[in-house]
C-alpha cells in the first residue's frame, strides 16, 4: 500500500514512515525538505500518484493565531484538492485531544477549522486526537515560565510517547476509514502542576513550579478535563518515567 506522510520528516512523521516501511508498505515522506509543499502545492500531484492513503502530521511553524489558522486552512485545502484529483481513498489527520473544549485557543481553533475541511471534503477520513507528547514536555514548561517560575494550572494531564502516537496513527492509516475520530493518550493521568514539579526535579531544573488556577496553556486557561481524553481512548503503555530513562540516561522521575 502506498501511504504518503505529509510532514514525514518531522517527529511523528519520521517515526511513522519507519514503522509503515517495516510492515511492508510504501511510505513516502513528503515535506518541504523532500520537495513537497502543501502551502504552495509544489510537488503534491507527483507525490500523490498511486497513493491509497495520505496521512497529515504536518504542523504550523508559527503558533500565532492568524498564522496558524492560515497554515492549516491553506495547506489542508490544497492537500484535499490534490487527493481528490489523485483518487486517494483515505485521509488521516492528527489533531489534539480537547480541541472542541478550548475553541478560544488560537491553535485549537485552527485545528477545528482543519477538521471541518476534512469532514466536508467527501474523502473518507480518520482523525486521530492525541494528548501532549512526552517530547514536548520541556517546551510546555518553557512556555509557562514567567519571571523564572513555571506557572501551571491544577488540571488533568495525560501525555504520551511520540512512538505510541506513531503506532496509533499507523494502525489507523492501514485500517478502514473511521469517518470520525479516535483518541490516544498515555497510560497515566496526572495533576498537571504535580507532574511538572516531578519532571523538573528529574531534569535537575531549579525553576519553581507554581500552582495557578488561572495559568494559561499556550494562551488559554484549560478546564479540569480539557486536555485528557474521554472514555474509550486507546492508551499507551510507556510511562513518562520509562521514556525519560530511555532518553536521558541516569535521570528518573521521583
* Euclidean distance between CA atoms 51 and 46, whole angstroms: 10
* pLDDT for the residue numbered 254: 40
Residue 201 located in a structural domain: yes
Nearest to 134 by CA among 225, 15, 3: 15
Number of domains forming the structure of the chain: 1
Nearest to 68 by CA among 105, 97, 110: 110
HSE-CB at 42 with a 13 A cutoff on CA atoms is 9
* Euclidean distance between CA atoms 202 and 179, whole angstroms: 41
Residues 189-218 have pLDDT tens digits of 999 999 999 999 999 999 999 999 999 999
Residue 66 located in a structural domain: yes
* pLDDT for the residue numbered 111: 96
Residues 89-110 have pLDDT tens digits of 999 999 999 999 998 999 999 9
Residue 35 located in a structural domain: yes
Residues 42-80 have pLDDT tens digits of 999 999 999 999 999 999 988 899 999 999 999 999 999
Residue 123 located in a structural domain: yes
Residue 30 located in a structural domain: yes
Residue 121 located in a structural domain: yes
Residues 132-142 have pLDDT tens digits of 999 999 999 99
**3-state SS class at 201:** helix
Which domain, by its residues, includes 37? 2-247
Residue 249 has pLDDT above 60, yes or no: no
Q: For residue 160, which phi and psi values (nearest 5 degrees)?
A: -140, 150
Q: What mean pLDDT, rounded, does the chain reach?
A: 95
pTM over 0.95: no
Written as nine digits, the cell of 168 is 496509533
pLDDT (mean) for 230-241: 95
Residue 56 located in a structural domain: yes
Q: Which domain CATH number covers 127?
A: 3.40.50.720
Residue 252 located in a structural domain: no
Amino acid at each position: 500500500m502506498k501511504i504518503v506522510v505529509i510532514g514525514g520528516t518531522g517527529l511523528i512523521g519520521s517515526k511513522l514512515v519507519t514503522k509503515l516501511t517495516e510492515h511492508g508498505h510504501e511510505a513516502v515522506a513528503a515535506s518541504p525538505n523532500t520537495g513537497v509543499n502543501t502551502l504552495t502545492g509544489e510537488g503534491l500531484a507527483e507525490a500523490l500518484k498511486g497513493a491509497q492513503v495520505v496521512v497529515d502530521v504536518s504542523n504550523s511553524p508559527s503558533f500565532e493565531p492568524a498564522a496558524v489558522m492560515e497554515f492549516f486552512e491553506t495547506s489542508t485545502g490544497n492537500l484535499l484538492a490534490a487527493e481528490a484529483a489523485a483518487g486517494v481513498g483515505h485521509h488521516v489527520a492528527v489533531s489534539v485531544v480537547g480541541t472542541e473544549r478550548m475553541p478560544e485557543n488560537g491553535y485549537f481553533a485552527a485545528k477545528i477549522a482543519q477538521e471541518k475541511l476534512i469532514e466536508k471534503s467527501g474523502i473518507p477520513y480518520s482523525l486521530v486526537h492525541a494528548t501532549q507528547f512526552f517530547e514536548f514536555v520541556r517546551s510546555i514548561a518553557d512556555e509557562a515560565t514567567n519571571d523564572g517560575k513555571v506557572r501551571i494550572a491544577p488540571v488533568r494531564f495525560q501525555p504520551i510517547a511520540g512512538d505510541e502516537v506513531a503506532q496509533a496513527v499507523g494502525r489507523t492509516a492501514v485500517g478502514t476509514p473511521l469517518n470520525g475520530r479516535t483518541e490516544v493518550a498515555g497510560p497515566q493521568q496526572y495533576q498537571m502542576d504535580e507532574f511538572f514539579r516531578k519532571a523538573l526535579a528529574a531534569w535537575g531544573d531549579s525553576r519553581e513550579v507554581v500552582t495557578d488556577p488561572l495559568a494559561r496553556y499556550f494562551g488559554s486557561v484549560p478546564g479540569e478535563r480539557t486536555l485528557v481524553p474521554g472514555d474509550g481512548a486507546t492508551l499507551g503503555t510507556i510511562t513518562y518515567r520509562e521514556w525519560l530513562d530511555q532518553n536521558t540516561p541516569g535521570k528518573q522521575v521521583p
